[in-house]
Structure 1
Amino acid sequence: MGYGVELPPYRAILVVDVKGFGGWRGRDHAELARLVPTVLRRAFAECGLGGEWDRAPLSVSTGDGWVLGVRSGLLPRLLNPVLPALQEVLSDGVRMRATVHIGPLTGGRAVEAGNGEARVQAHRLLDAGPVRALLDRSGPGTRVAAVVSERAYADAVVSGYAGDDPNLYVPVPVRVKSFAQTAYLRVPVPTGELLSHGFTRAAPSGVQSGRTARSRTS
């Protein structure tokens, strides 16, 4: 069967894209593409993480968004304070979906850098219906809607390292192509239907809230 190979470094992963990018005029696409890393860099700087942005092992454009891979210890800080900071620095009219995940990624600056199942999963999460619906069902004051992987939620939120109340995260079943797991929705500033009807129109069947799940295991 042969020998195993060395696992690539674990990275905390942040992926974002601009809502409705294709609906903007073609003349605006280049400006939007330049805006994405600018606002991300500013959000990191606002959180005292500008140096981490500059030395990120993975930092690449996706055309309408960005993929960032940083050292795994920064996972909690991607959730808090980076997501709320991103909400604050985005200008009127520009709204983003984001996903936070963690896993092994190949390194370096070559074409093959940043590959791995963890990156595929991060993009699957970003494409999931529940996180897309968050921006559709909220007003312009909600500029960031995030989906957090099950692993990232367990490692950073339930553990307490993110400093966030787990009840700020709403569990939802996610299925995109062959990828399926429970993920967690996080909206720093909910508006519109998110306030009146919640992050999901109905509680997902068979999915427990963070508080309920912890009370049964404590």
Structure 2
Amino acid sequence: MSSPSPSPVPAPYAESRTLPPYRALFAVDAKDFTGLPAVQHGPVSQLIPELVDQALERAGLHELRDSKRFPANTGDGVVFGFDPALLPFVLWPFLGVLDDTLGAYNKQCVGPRIRLRASVHVGPLPDADGPGDGNGTPRNDTHRLLDSRPVKAILTAASEEVTHLAAVISQRVYEDVVLGAYTGLHPDRCVEVPATVEGKNFSQRAWLYVPSPSGNLVQAGVQPREESAAPADTPAGREQEPATSPGTHYSGNTQHVGEGAAVMGSVGRDLSYTGGTTTYHGTNQHWGGGDNVSGDKRVGGSGDGR
């Protein structure tokens, strides 16, 4: 019996065809997974989806836990599709619950800490119970967002005792779900970043959400979930202006970086910075061109060592 002929690959723009259904995508991977001893790779690879499922359960997303589309274990993480109608609940409360779940595990674990990067995206993907389900540009972009420089830099700079999860949200999800006010995640908890991946032809606008910020994220005004409410004697949204120095301008808690470096965490004395300014407005942080550097910022005049 002859084997069946392979399915032809469709030629682009040759004809119109039905658009695949829109599927939301969620992916996580573990920080420093490849640095673990080989004997720990298997157990950690098994543990990550268990922690994700625990968080889905605790967040009340039983339906999502049991109805993942084209799930895959990537070794250092997991990825799966789901009904986009559940996106608001994945952003809030699930991401916060996942952070809490990781924190609880890390406090009592005797093995390596599990700290995760997460990405959330949406787009048309084949989903007909076939072998090619879930493959397409939205899936590729989900993984690129996960590997993008800003989310890696944030998790590296943050305290491993406090910050267990850093999530990057695609522009499409942010516009439709966050700005659309369908979720409990307020826009002011999100940080705008240019998502780029070293060595890859990828650059997209995206948004960071860190459920439990630490270090200079807190100093910049990115507040933990339980501390986000404005004080009773402070009108919501009123801009507060801390002391400034030349080259740095503040109003509220948002950081816009056009040129130069956005510095977070703790770096040694070798860091120097020349030119560019840092501007804060509102509550979101916006990073433009230039490098986003982990470390403490010492503010001085243009060209001063920082």
Is TM more than 0.5 here? Answer: yes
Q: Which stretch of the first structure deviates more once superposed, 102-111 or 48-57? A: 102-111
| Alignment counterpart, residue 204 of structure 1, candidates 250, 253, 257 | 257
The match for 2:212 is: 189
Alignment partner of 1:142 is 2:195: no
Within 5 Å, give how 1:34-183 maps onto structure 2: 34-90=46-102, 91-92=105-106, 93-140=113-160, 141-176=162-197, 177-183=200-206
Q: Secondary structure at the match of 2:178?
A: helix
Q: CA deviation at 1:110?
A: 4.5
Q: Which stretch of the first structure deviates more once superposed, 182-191 or 54-63? A: 54-63
What is the TM-score when the length of structure 1 is the normalising length?
Answer: 0.89
Considering Cα pairs closer than 8 Å and 6+ residues apart, tell me whether 1 or 2 has the greater RCO: 1
Q: Which stretch of the first structure deviates more once superposed, 146-155 or 167-176? A: 167-176
The match for 1:24 is: 36
Q: For 1:70-117, what per-residue CA distance to the aligned partner results, in whole angstroms no more than 9, with x for missing partners?
A: 001111111101100100111211100000111112225554221010
Q: CA deviation at 1:195?
A: 1.9
The match for 2:240 is: none
* Separation of aligned partners in 1, 2:175 and 2:184: 13
Q: CA deviation at 1:9?
A: 1.2
Q: Secondary structure at the match of 1:103?
A: strand
Task: Work out the number of aligned pairs and report it.
Answer: 211
Larger Rg computed on CA atoms: 2
Q: CA deviation at 1:192?
A: 2.0
* Separation of aligned partners in 2, 1:109 and 1:202: 45
The structure whose residues are more often helix, as a share, is 1
| Structure 1 residue runs without a partner (length 5+) | 213-218
Sequence identity, in percent?
38
Q: Secondary structure at the match of 2:87?
A: helix
* Separation of aligned partners in 1, 2:39 and 2:283: 47
Q: Secondary structure at the match of 1:41?
A: helix
| Structure 2 residue runs without a partner (length 5+) | 1-12, 107-112, 223-253, 260-278, 285-306
* Separation of aligned partners in 1, 2:24 and 2:55: 16
